[in-house]
Amino acid sequence: MKSNRPIGIKILAILAIASGAIAALAGLVNLGFGITLLENLRQQNLPPSPTDHILLTAGGLNVIVGMINLLFGLGFLSLKPWAWLLGVIMQIANIAIIIISLFAGRLPWLLSLLLLIIYGAILSYFFQPRVRQAFNQA
- Residue boundaries of the structural domains of the chain: 7-136
Q: pLDDT category, 2, cuts 50, 70, 90?
A: very low
The three state secondary structure string of 90-134 is: HHHHHHHHHHHHHHCCCCCHHHHHHHHHHHHHHHHHHCCHHHHHH
Q: Tell me: the pLDDT tens digits for 49-102?
A: 877 788 788 889 999 999 999 999 999 999 999 999 999 999 999 999 999 888
- For residues 116-123, average pLDDT: 95
Buried b (16+ CB within 10 A) or exposed e, 96-117: eebeeebeeeebeeeebeebee
Specify the pLDDT at position 138. 56
